[in-house]
């Protein structure tokens, strides 16, 4: 089975489909991706030919919808590719998956989180919410988030001065870098973020944009059953 991976980045989603059992994966991205682990083509995902593939995954840029846009990118304009890529894929006639961040205008999406798959490092859980729109196949019941179901607790001062305990969480954004206390959160170094994501071949910037392979392995197994 052949899968086309549009807006592929460094291959987090692709690795999940590979682990699910897809035989051949071709990634397409406008930027060079020297660490992409499968066949890579540098090109425009909005014009790349779709023929010859059994299924298609697309992860269009999320900057138009991410909450970080309120801060880091608040003064920049970012295109919305979701509707355009949906239109492209819907006329192809093969099953497809569109992935994006919460807030993106996906159709009847379901949400996946690292806590569903017990993704963690140093007893801290990975909370990384991503939405998935699927067409052409059905999905089994998606498990709920399991925030705080395992791992250590860290003290955090409440607004009233009281001490509260919250689950230790790993955040993956930006370019990564050292451990420090920041806004009552533990900032983990790149190696811990990589362990939590289940990715060992990316640099910090690539990791911050990646989909944990566990997510697309879960989807890919059901997609292959349907195919």
pLDDT, tens digit, for every residue of 115-158? 999 999 887 889 899 999 999 999 988 988 988 877 666 665 55
Summary mean pLDDT of the chain = 86
Query: Tell me, what's the pLDDT at 175?
Result: 63
By the 8 A CB rule, do 172 and 185 touch?
no
Q: Cα separation of 94 and 55, whole Å?
A: 6
pLDDT of residue 143: 86
Distances (CA, A) of 98 to 66, 107, 129, 130, 225: 16, 9, 14, 10, 19
pLDDT at position 209 over 70:
yes
What is the set of domains in the chain, with CATH numbers? Answer: 2-226 (3.40.50)
The pLDDT of 193-197, averaged and rounded, is 95
| pLDDT tens column, 44-65 | 999 999 999 999 999 999 655 5
User: Is residue 215 a contact partner of residue 13, using CB atoms and an 8 Å limit?
Assistant: yes
């Amino acid at each position: 089975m052949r899968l086309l991976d549009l807006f592929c980045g460094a291959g987090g989603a692709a690795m999940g489909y590979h682990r699910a059992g897809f035989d051949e994966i071709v990634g397409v991205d406008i930027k060079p991706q020297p660490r992409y682990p499968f066949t890579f083509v540098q090109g425009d995902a909005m014009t790349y030919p779709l023929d010859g593939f059994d299924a298609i995954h697309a992860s269009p840029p999320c900057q138009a919808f991410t909450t970080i846009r309120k801060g880091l990118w608040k003064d920049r304009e970012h295109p919305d590719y979701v509707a355009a890529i949906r239109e492209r894929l819907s006329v192809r006639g093969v099953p497809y998956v569109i992935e994006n961040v919460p807030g993106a205008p996906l159709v009847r999406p379901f949400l996946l989180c690292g806590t569903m798959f017990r993704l963690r490092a140093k007893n801290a859980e990975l909370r990384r919410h991503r939405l998935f729109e699927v067409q052409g196949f059905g999905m089994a019941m998606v498990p709920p988030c399991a925030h705080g179901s395992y791992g250590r607790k860290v003290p955090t001062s409440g607004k009233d001065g009281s001490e509260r305990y919250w689950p230790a969480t790993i955040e993956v954004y930006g370019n990564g870098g050292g451990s420090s206390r920041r806004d009552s959160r533990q900032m983990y170094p790149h190696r811990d973020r990589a362990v939590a994501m289940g990715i060992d071949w990316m640099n910090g910037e690539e990791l911050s944009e990646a989909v944990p392979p566990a997510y697309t392995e879960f989807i890919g197994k059901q997609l292959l059953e349907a195919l």
